Structure 1
Amino acid sequence: MSSSRIRSVMALTIALGASVALAGCNAYAPAPRAFEQATIQPYRLDSGDRLRVAVFEQTALTNTYTVDQAGYISFPLIGQVPARGQTLTQLEKAIATKLRQGYLRDPDVTIEVDRYRPVFVMGEVGRPGQYSYVPGMTAQNAIAIAGGFTARANQRDLDVTRKINGQILTGRTSISAPVLAGDTIYVRERLF
């Protein structure tokens, strides 16, 4: 065999080995079961959520409050109230309980989300960045808002990073999968 032919075979072998190694690095890692379960659970508050809190017949307390980076809302009379990881119902009860402790006899507290924390769309999309979340949003909706797929985008599936029970998990999902407020969606580049 000639030396040029040997070099060609060696180059082909190295290229094949490299592509197998790269394919191994990009192995399919499906989303954990907790991803799907999180989409059917009650909404959990976190930093960046803006809440409309109404206290019946207490106009001075009724206002919008933002969950700060530490996971608290600062509420008049009672101070810092932990909100991170709480459902709306749990936070309503926590505020009512604190208001009962010397401020109001029987407070009626209702909370709704005024503005959800954003989703982040990265990778092979027209305009990567931070976008407003709306309930019922799918990954495909978020990608459309971010300018759609680039010509190099893998359009079959994507990676989603999500905080579940205080733990950050990443998994591969379909583009039709629901997303949650705070998710990071990453569209990979296709290989061919």
Structure 2
Amino acid sequence: MTRKSEGNMSVHVHKARFGAMLLVVASLGLLGTAGCGATGAFTWVSELPRSASTGDQDFLIRDTDTVNVRVYQQDAISTNQRVRPDGKIVVPMAGEFVARGKKPSELAKEIEAKLKGVLVTPVVTVSVEQSAQITVSVVGQVRNAGAFQMDPGSSVLHALASAGGLSDYASEDKIFVLRRSLPQRVRFRFADLRNGDKSSIGFGLQAGDVVVVE
């Protein structure tokens, strides 16, 4: 290979890395305003408490989610319906409730309180049977960086696959997730994701998460 060819290849590699870094910087800038630790400190996913790594358990109800309200031994009051565009649902004999922005457990307690005027000891459970998709961004050393729609609680491996996989220049042990509610980046190894490591695969993505591959 001639020196000129080597020089051209070096320029192409530099441009590829620079372009990927611009995408990373743009995403980190958005998250930085929310107080998320974008650079420096990190926590390995295996060291996270379970409550922080399961993205699909404490999510908030959103418009178009299908909500299942079960009132114990009261089929006539129980209901299954989609959250309206105004964020509300209607429960028979209890009236309207704002579901948007609440955890299922919070909504269940509100419905129970309202039904105490109708039933002696109402027991209510609320679950989301069908949830609207979330948007997750994947940036850095991947083949097709961008924002992708996926189900709540999807894995980091799913997000990487959506972005076409790692690029030839990716560091396989430097995969991070940035989340507004966490003070530090969460770090992953690609080998752990590929081999089905429980803590790595069990980490559920949430709306607004950014996956960064260095």
* C-alpha spacing 1:66/1:161, structure 2 compared with 1 (3 Å): farther
Q: Offset of 1:172 from its aligned partner?
A: 3.8
Within the candidate set 123, 130, 144, 2:139 is matched to 123
Equivalent in the alignment of 1:78: 95
Tell whether the 8 Å contact from 1:44 to 1:84 is kept in structure 2 after alignment. no
Q: Write the letter of the residue equivalent to 2:43.
A: A
What root-mean-square deviation, in Å, do the aligned CA atoms of Structure 1 and Structure 2 show?
4.0
Q: Secondary structure at the match of 1:31?
A: strand
Equivalent in the alignment of 1:187: 212
Q: Does 1:133 align with 2:151?
A: yes
Within the candidate set 29, 38, 44, 2:58 is matched to 44
Tell whether the 8 Å contact from 1:119 to 1:182 is kept in structure 2 after alignment. yes
Inter-partner Cα distance in structure 2 for 1:32 and 1:66: 36
Tell whether the 8 Å contact from 1:46 to 1:67 is kept in structure 2 after alignment. no
Identical amino acids, percent of aligned pairs: 19
* C-alpha spacing 1:108/1:41, structure 2 compared with 1 (3 Å): same
Q: Offset of 1:90 from its aligned partner?
A: 3.7
Q: Secondary structure at the match of 2:205?
A: coil
Q: Write the letter of the residue equivalent to 1:141.
A: H
Deviation track 1:41-70 (CA, whole Å, cap 9, x = no partner) reads 9822325372322343126x512343979x
Q: Write the letter of the residue equivalent to 2:42.
A: P
TM-score (norm 1): 0.57
Q: Offset of 1:131 from its aligned partner?
A: 2.6
User: Which structure's residues are more often helix, by fraction?
Assistant: 2
Q: Which structure is richer in relative contact order (CA contacts within 8 A, separation 6 or more)?
A: 2
Inter-partner Cα distance in structure 2 for 1:67 and 1:158: 38
Within the candidate set 62, 70, 74, 1:54 is matched to 70
Gaps of 5+ in 2: 1-20, 26-37, 194-199
Q: Offset of 1:92 from its aligned partner?
A: 1.9
Tell whether the 8 Å contact from 1:31 to 1:173 is kept in structure 2 after alignment. yes
Q: Offset of 1:171 from its aligned partner?
A: 0.9
Equivalent in the alignment of 1:113: 128
Equivalent in the alignment of 1:157: 174
TM-score (norm 2): 0.53
Deviation track 1:129-180 (CA, whole Å, cap 9, x = no partner) reads 2332354x4312321234322344443223323243xxx6451411443133
Inter-partner Cα distance in structure 1 for 2:107 and 2:146: 33
Q: Offset of 1:30 from its aligned partner?
A: 0.2
Equivalent in the alignment of 2:187: 173
Tell whether the 8 Å contact from 2:39 to 2:185 is kept in structure 1 after alignment. no
* C-alpha spacing 1:41/1:141, structure 2 compared with 1 (3 Å): closer
